[in-house]
């Protein structure tokens, strides 16, 4: 491993609130490539800039291009973590909802991944004044993922991107793989990005903050030479029982977790990207109570949930 890969680039993330942003509304989806319009993204960003200073994006599609365009055109005060979405490159028979593909599908996904990484490099260069970091992939190595990428391939991708951008480079993943199989990858990234979801792991609201802190510290202890950022943490407001007990989801519980999380983040200095800005109805199963659809601090109609009403009133 070359010495340059051990010298981490500084993470120049200014203090301030951070949030995950994916602007897909009713009838829109990255899968169908029906993207939010420039006008819709402009509406979202002018709403979010009232309280947040950092955004996390998930891919380098038309959606991301429009977000960066609006930030520059309108002079909005955002720093952006640009994400490159990686599709499956290997079957994952441990995924409960799929994760198996033909060799032709996997090869097409590999080609799409190469194109996505190229777009990430180009956007990071074109928007160097806005993009503070580049995330190569999202939840692609955890045991249950439906878009599995082998760790050795992730290492190659991180190296490839890092050679071509000036910003710090990371990989966003659930906290568990960082404890074990991502040790070699940790040496390649400039900072470590973890996800922690107590409600997915059947934790009661009164256990939630302690569990989040334990998840963070379990990774931070392993990598004292690397900054650790929480790039996803949140609380669902609805569930059909698939993976999350319905009685443990509500707007009231989301508000409690959010306030506890933000308080700890301020006290500890740990950067936290809250998941997420808006509900996304395209996610998960067709069931309207599918928990994947209900993580927003705002509804899909851009109305503030309880957690945001003290800041935004009863309507955005």
Compute CA distances 164 → 1, 62, 119, 131, whole Å: 18, 21, 11, 14
- How much is the pLDDT for 5? 44
* Beta bridge pairs of residue 134: 82, 169
Give yes or no for a contact between 18 and 272, defined as CB atoms under 8 angstroms apart.
Answer: yes
Q: What is the pLDDT of residue 14?
A: 87
Rounded Cα distance, 278 and 298, in Å: 5
Alpha carbons 47 and 35: distance in angstroms, whole number: 19
Sorted by where each begins, the domain ranges of the chain are 3-312
**What are the CA-CA distances from residue 36 to residues 84, 200, 274, 283 (Å)?**
18, 29, 21, 15
pLDDT at 299: 98
CA torsion, ordered 270, 296, 42, 130, to nearest 10 deg: 20
Topology (CATH) of 3-312: TIM Barrel (3.20.20)
Question: Is the separation of the CB atoms in 287 and 244 below 8 Å?
Answer: no
The dihedrals phi and psi of 152, each to the nearest 5 degrees, come to -65, -30
- The model's pTM is 0.96
To which residue do tokens 């429009």 refer? 66
> 212 near 233, Cβ under 8 Å?
yes
pLDDT < 50: residue spans in the chain: 1-5
Q: What is the pLDDT of residues 144-186, one digit of tens each?
A: 999 999 999 999 999 999 999 999 999 999 999 999 999 999 9
Question: In the 8-state DSSP scheme, what is residue 134?
Answer: E
Tokens 């480079």 correspond to 169
Scanning the chain, the segments in alpha helix (DSSP H) are: 38-48, 62-74, 103-126, 151-162, 175-179, 183-186, 205-220, 251-268, 309-312
Residue 315, pLDDT score: 65
Give CA torsion, residues 144, 148, 152, 156, to 10 deg.
-130
CA–CA distance, 203 with 212 (Å, rounded to integer): 10
Strand partners, 291: none
| Nearest Cα residue to 82 out of 12, 17, 134, 19 | 134
What backbone torsions phi and psi does residue 175 show, to the nearest 5 degrees? -65, -25
Q: Residue written as tokens 């203090």?
A: 15
């Amino acid at each position: 491993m070359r010495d340059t890969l051990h010298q981490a680039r500084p993470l120049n993330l200014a203090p301030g609130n951070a949030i995950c942003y994916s602007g897909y509304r009713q009838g829109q989806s990255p899968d169908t490539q029906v993207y939010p319009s420039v006008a819709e993204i402009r509406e979202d960003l002018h709403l979010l800039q009232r309280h947040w200073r950092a955004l996390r994006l998930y891919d380098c599609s038309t959606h991301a291009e429009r977000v960066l365009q609006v930030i520059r055109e309108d002079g909005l005060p955002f720093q952006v973590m640009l994400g490159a979405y990686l599709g499956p490159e290997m079957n994952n028979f441990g995924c409960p909802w799929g994760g198996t593909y033909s060799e032709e599908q996997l090869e097409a996904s590999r080609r799409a991944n190469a194109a996505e990484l190229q777009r990430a490099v180009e956007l990071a260069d074109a928007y160097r004044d806005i993009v503070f970091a580049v995330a190569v992939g999202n939840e692609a190595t955890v045991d249950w993922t439906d878009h599995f990428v082998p760790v050795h391939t992730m290492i190659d991708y991180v190296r490839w991107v890092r050679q071509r951008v000036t910003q710090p480079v990371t990989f966003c993943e659930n906290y568990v793989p960082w404890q074990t199989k991502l040790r070699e990858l940790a040496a390649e990234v400039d900072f470590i990005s973890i996800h922690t979801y107590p409600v997915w792991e059947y934790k009661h609201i009164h256990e939630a903050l302690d569990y989040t802190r334990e998840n963070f510290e379990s990774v931070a202890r392993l990598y004292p030479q690397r900054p650790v950022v929480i790039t996803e943490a949140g609380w669902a407001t609805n569930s059909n029982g698939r993976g999350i007990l319905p009685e443990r989801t509500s707007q009231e519980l989301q508000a409690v977790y959010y306030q506890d999380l933000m308080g700890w983040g301020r006290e500890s200095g740990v950067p936290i990207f809250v998941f997420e800005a808006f509900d996304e109805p395209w996610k998960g199963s067709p069931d309207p109570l599918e928990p994947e659809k209900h993580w927003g601090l705002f509804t899909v109609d851009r109305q503030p949930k309880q957690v945001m009403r003290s800041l935004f009133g009863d309507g955005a």
